[in-house]
Structure 1
Amino acid sequence: MTFSAQDQTSEIHAGPGRPREFDPGVALAAALDLFWRQGYEATSLEELTLAMGISRSSFYGCFGSKHGVLLAAIRRYSDEKLAALAAAADGEESPREAVRVMIAAIADAAGGPKGCFLVNCIAELAPHDPEVAEVSRRHLDRIEKLIADRLARRLDPTVAEDRARALLSLALGTTMLRKAGMAEPRIDALLTQIDSLLPPP
């Protein structure tokens, strides 16, 4: 049985007659954090199950494989990121400011050298892992559409799509610069370049 998007409580057995419950959502969050910090290839199965707080048998029973838990982690990150961006945009009346706050959230200039989890996975795995490439493309398409929908309230839809793609590319590029050690003020300065792509107030 593989883990679904819902955080359900599963049961494993520590011994005869001694069931122990664990929350797959909590375990998945721990896996995501470990992959984010260390990368996929550098994370051993032993480290992964230890961080998740589950046995190997429970790991395989719930998630299927190390690759399976990675894909589940990427999907969870994608859903949470999209929800947070939509909420941030909904807090702004102006489409211009809605897009501005979304780009700032994606770039996360103050986020430090850990980088963006999705961008890290793309750089490490997407060139030779079709499943990671596909789930990553879906994530980027969803964010691009979210940005384009806001821009289209002031711009022609085709123009909005082109600008959304350019804005997302700039924001994702800054996450790589942040991971390489670029200081927050320099990233903030780069992000001022988005003004020419935003609709009028």
Structure 2
Amino acid sequence: MSRLLHQPTHSLTQQTSPVMGRPRQFVPAEALRDALAVFWDKGYQATSLDDLTAAMHLSRSSFYACFGSKHAVMMAAVELYADELFARLETVASSMPAVEAVHAVLAAIAEVDAGRRGCFFVNSVTELAPHDEALAAFAQRHVARTGALVVGLLERAGFTPALAQSRAAALLALTIGTITLRKAGLPVPELLTILSQAQLLLADTTPST
């Protein structure tokens, strides 16, 4: 869970005066989810501070006091999204046989029927990582832990460690490509056909010579 959800100077049930409407109980975790939704809809650059404070029901002073900056909120939102996704992937990975689990993990990442909104993590990395060192570093850690999860499943399925590494990288590249094509508007049947190519990478546990 993001470090920004545990600010020591703010109670999780602190009263605040929202920008619009009547006061409500202020829960930083809920406010962060509100911010995540705005970033996901508009992207980081197109999201204004007014957009965030309105969605989070915060005055500007309360926003800065609790979260510090727009960038800090973005980082916290990306971390929250990625951490929750990874927790779901771990649950999937532990609940079925190895090869079946790989397919299920890839399907959970790709979400081919989720529409053109895209994946919040992939959207954020595409927009910001080339010029945002903090986000790029977190993205690399998240991709590495996801890759390690897939590698572990492949090794359980009988792949050698070296082959498991290369196949896991290819499988994740295929999945991220599927996400990109989903955002571009490809129909679900075509996305499923693309993602089904993972079967070719899972069919042979013997290294090529």
* TM-score normalised per structure 2: 0.87
Identity %: 44
The residue number in structure 2 matching 1:86 is 90
CA distance in 2, matches of 1:158, 1:9: 46
Deviation at 1:61, TM superposition (A): 1.2
Deviation at 1:194, TM superposition (A): 0.4
- Residues 41-120 of structure 1: matches in 2 within 5 Å? 41-92=45-96, 94-120=97-123
AA matched with 1:99: V
Q: CA-to-partner distance for each residue in 1:104-142, whole Å, 9 max, x for gaps?
A: 111111010000111101111111111111111111111
Equivalent residues of 2:112, 2:188 under 8 A apart? yes
Deviation at 1:76, TM superposition (A): 0.4
CA distance in 2, matches of 1:5, 1:99: 37
CA distance in 1, matches of 2:16, 2:91: 40
The residue number in structure 1 matching 2:6 is 4
The answer as to 2:61 corresponding to 1:23 is: no
Structure 1 gap ranges (5+):
none
Q: Which SS does the other structure have where 2:104 is aligned? A: helix
Equivalent residues of 2:16, 2:58 under 8 A apart? no
* TM-score normalised per structure 1: 0.90
Distance 1:127 1:60, change over 3 A: same
The residue number in structure 2 matching 1:161 is 165
Q: Please report the RMSD computed on the Cα atoms of aligned residues, expressed in angstroms.
A: 2.3
CA distance in 2, matches of 1:167, 1:8: 43
Distance 1:167 1:8, change over 3 A: farther
Structure 2 gap ranges (5+):
18-22
